């Protein structure tokens, strides 16, 4: 009876791999080469050094992604500015409606003239932001 139990294959546990990696190689690096290797490994963004080494040996393309925190911060602030600009446009429409509804046409026209001056300044600021953004993209966001 014990022989039957031993011969039965257990169905629990890890499934065996179809093509297991059983061939192992070892290399030794000096401190300078190791630092260079670790720098390349960090740039690759891979999590496993063995996968990185096999990718380099068999010349698979290794993607390197550089994250520019200044560009991310600039983009976030530009996005916030754009949302504020949109809210100003919404408020502008509401103010015009309220002025014509609650004031005489002459008084509403006076207030609208002041609002127009501020809008012209806002347009100038927007043009400056667009110019600075284009300049930033040319200098810092080089397309490869």
pLDDT tens-digit map of 41-98:
888 888 888 888 888 888 776 666 677 788 888 888 888 888 888 888 788 888 888 8
Tokens matching residue 139:
């200098």
Alpha helices, DSSP H only, in the chain?
Answer: 2-7, 31-44, 49-57, 69-102, 105-140
Q: Is the overall model pTM greater than 0.75, yes or no?
A: no
Tokens matching residue 99:
């002025």
Q: Which of 42, 48, 33 is nearest to 64 (CA)?
A: 42
* 118-144 average pLDDT score: 83
According to the model, what pLDDT value does residue 64 have?
Answer: 67
What is d(CA 112, CA 95) in angstroms, rounded to the nearest whole number? 9
């Amino acid at each position: 009876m014990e022989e039957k139990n031993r011969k039965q294959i257990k169905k629990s546990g890890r499934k065996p791999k179809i093509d297991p990696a059983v061939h192992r190689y070892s290399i030794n690096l000096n401190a300078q080469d190791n630092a260079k290797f670790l720098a390349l490994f960090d740039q690759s963004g891979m999590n496993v050094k063995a996968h990185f080494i096999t990718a380099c040996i068999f010349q698979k393309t290794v993607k390197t992604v550089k994250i520019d925190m200044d560009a991310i911060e600039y983009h976030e602030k530009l996005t916030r500015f754009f949302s504020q600009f949109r809210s100003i446009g919404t408020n502008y429409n509401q103010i015009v409606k309220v002025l014509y509804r609650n004031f005489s046409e002459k008084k509403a026209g006076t207030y609208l003239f002041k609002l127009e001056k501020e809008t012209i300044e806002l347009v100038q600021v927007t043009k400056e932001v667009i110019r600075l953004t284009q300049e930033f993209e040319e200098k810092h966001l080089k397309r490869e």
